[in-house]
Amino acid sequence: MAAITSGSILLSKAVLKSESTFGTSPSFTSGGRRLMVDPTGYINAGVTVDDQSDRSVGLLVKGIAQRTTVTAKMPTISLNEPGVPVNELPVWLAGVQNATAGTPTALGTAGATALGLAGTANVWDYNFVLSGTAIPAPKSFSLVATGGNSNPGTEQYLLNYVLPTKIGLKASADGLTSATIEAFGQTLSKDTTVLADVLPTDIANLAGRLWKAYFYADGTAFAVNAASTASGTAAITGGTAFSYLSDWSLDITTPNQAIAYQNGSVSFTGHSAFAAPLLGELALTVSGGTDAIAQIYDKFVAGTPTYWRLTWTDGSRQVDILACVIFAEVTPLAGDTNGVTTISARGVVNYDTVSGAALRIRVISDTLAVLP
């Protein structure tokens, strides 16, 4: 039997590249970032077809094949990164707030040394609070997905105007930090480009056990310079170390919304970056104890805000997640880990009037200076 020339999951890939103009795909004949994603199941064509089921034409079968009408094309993607690299976090966060890598005087080797890191530092600082014109427009992307076929166009698709609607991060003490991204796109089309991306050499996975939690009495340390979303090169200090975190997850619902007008196209024609509030939900599983009761259970029953920082570092790179949280659900004696009782908690990100902060994520990369 002849060799089968169909696609191969082993050779499938997704390549992403930023757009200079919303909806205008860049050339994929060079550059682009090959993502670390599950290779299948992430594209929904989003084609809506009128099936004529609300009409009668005097036939037992209502539908007439020659009268089928496509009324909308709203493709979406759902990406799963079982081990998200440090240098892919700024890509998805830029889809909410288009910050650039920080370049103050202290950056570079000197700035990295001040932060306790080896080498150089590129600081991506996202403060999801700043209002009005202080929030840069989100960055859109184009994505090419292949089915692992060596003949471009057979199983290769291009999706433009990609903006995330949900971003999820999750980590436990026995694995890697993972990410899930849900996003919309404008047009999904078969693509014949011979891709020229290269295998990334800057992959640094976030081992779950390297995360460390801190709690604070207030949100003073959470604030960032309101004039620039990319100036936070100072070390974030203070707080009390919390040493009994088993796992955590952070789910962000972005304000991005595709807007479809009657504008001569079945695809959407633009987006709003302020269509809805940005929502954040933080879930924690911790071992029971004095700190857990005081900072989680007692705060929950009193309805008072809590301030948490999750920090990850491998000595060369660093990620900081700071959130003001009101716990909405806490279960004491929820279970056990290795015979130790645990508390589970779920909280909602809130705005803190003292620090003017709600949710801040800072990624310090040793190599990522610009978006792909």
Q: How many CB atoms lie within 10 A of CB 173?
A: 15
CA distance 99 to 249: 23
Averaged pLDDT, 164-180: 96
Largest CA distance in the chain: 80
pTM: 0.92
What ranges do the domains of the chain cover? Answer: 10-48+63-365
- Which pLDDT does position 135 carry in this prediction? 66
- Which pLDDT does position 102 carry in this prediction? 67
CA distance 144 to 226: 36
**pLDDT bracket for residue 353 (50, 70, 90):** confident
CA distance 154 to 342: 51
Q: Do residues 105 and 123 make contact, with C-beta atoms less than 8 angstroms apart?
A: no
pLDDT digits (tens, 9 = 90+) for 105-161: 445 666 777 777 887 788 888 888 765 556 668 999 999 999 887 777 788 999 999
Q: Is 133 exposed, middle or buried (0-12, 13-18, 19+ CB in 10 A)?
A: exposed
Among 278, 270, 273, smallest CA distance to 252 is for 278
Residue 208 has pLDDT above 60, yes or no: yes
- Which pLDDT does position 113 carry in this prediction? 75
pLDDT digits (tens, 9 = 90+) for 37-89: 998 888 999 999 998 888 888 888 888 888 889 999 999 999 999 999 999 99
Q: What is the mean pLDDT of the chain?
A: 88
Residue 10 has pLDDT above 50, yes or no: yes
pLDDT digits (tens, 9 = 90+) for 242-292: 989 999 999 999 999 999 999 999 999 999 988 888 999 999 999 888 888
- Which pLDDT does position 225 carry in this prediction? 45
- The answer for residues whose C-beta is within 8 angstroms of residue 314's C-beta and 6 or more apart is 204, 207, 210
**pLDDT bracket for residue 228 (50, 70, 90):** very low
Averaged pLDDT, 93-110: 71
Half-sphere exposure of 221 (CA within 13 A, CB side): 21
- Which pLDDT does position 144 carry in this prediction? 96
Residue 324 has pLDDT above 80, yes or no: yes
